[in-house]
A = this chain, B = another copy of it.
Amino acid sequence: MKVLVIGAAGMIGRKLCERLLRDGRIGSRDITDLVMADAVASDLGAGVAFARHVVVDLAKPDASMTLLASRPDVIFHLAAIVSGEAEQDFDKGYAVNLDGTRALFEAIRALEHYEPRVVYTSSIAVFGAPYNGAIADDFFHTPLSSYGTQKAICELLLADYSRRGFLDGIGLRLPNICVRPGKPNAASSGFFSNIIREPLAGREAVLPVADSVGQTHASPRATVEFLLHAATLQSEQLGARRTLMMPGVPASVAEQIAALRRVAGDAVVARIRHVPDPVIMAMVAGWPAHFDTPRALALGFRAEACFDDIIRTHIDDDLGGTFVR
Which residues of A are at the interface with B, using a C-beta cutoff of 8 A? 90, 128, 138-144, 146, 149, 152-153, 156-157, 159-160, 163-164, 240-241
> 10 tightest A-B contacts by CB?
A140-B140, A149-B160, A153-B153, A138-B140, A149-B156, A141-B141, A152-B156, A153-B156, A146-B160, A144-B240
- Chain B residues with CB below 8 A from A142, complex form: 240-241
Which among A90, A152, A153, A157 has the greatest number of chain B C-beta atoms within 10 A? A153
Determine the distance from Cα of A156 to Cα of B146 in the docked complex, in whole angstroms. Answer: 9
6 A-B contacts (beta carbon < 8 Å): A128-B240, A141-B141, A142-B240, A143-B160, A144-B163, A153-B157
Determine the distance from Cα of A141 to Cα of B138 in the docked complex, in whole angstroms. Answer: 9
What's the nearest-Cβ distance from chain B to residue A102, in Å? 9
- Chain B residues with CB below 8 A from A240, complex form: 128, 142, 144
Of all chain B residues, which has the CB nearest A141? B141
- Chain B residues with CB below 8 A from A159, complex form: 143, 149
Determine the distance from Cα of A140 to Cα of B127 in the docked complex, in whole angstroms. Answer: 11
Determine the distance from Cα of A139 to Cα of B164 in the docked complex, in whole angstroms. Answer: 23
Determine the distance from Cα of A142 to Cα of B141 in the docked complex, in whole angstroms. Answer: 10
- Chain B residues with CB below 8 A from A146, complex form: 160, 164
Determine the distance from Cα of A157 to Cα of B152 in the docked complex, in whole angstroms. Answer: 10
Of all chain B residues, which has the CB nearest A109? B90
Contact between A141 and B156 (Cβ–Cβ < 8 Å)? Answer: yes
- Chain B residues with CB below 8 A from A163, complex form: 144
What's the nearest-Cβ distance from chain B to residue A100, in Å? 15
Contact between B241 and A164 (Cβ–Cβ < 8 Å)? Answer: no
- Chain B residues with CB below 8 A from A157, complex form: 149, 153
- Chain B residues with CB below 8 A from A241, complex form: 142
Known contacts A153-B156, A156-B149, A157-B149; A140 and B143 CB within 8 A of each other = no
Contact between B140 and A141 (Cβ–Cβ < 8 Å)? Answer: yes
- Chain B residues with CB below 8 A from A144, complex form: 163, 240
What's the nearest-Cβ distance from chain B to residue A110, in Å? 11
What's the nearest-Cβ distance from chain B to residue A77, in Å? 18
Determine the distance from Cα of A141 to Cα of B141 in the docked complex, in whole angstroms. Answer: 7
Of all chain B residues, which has the CB nearest A155? B141
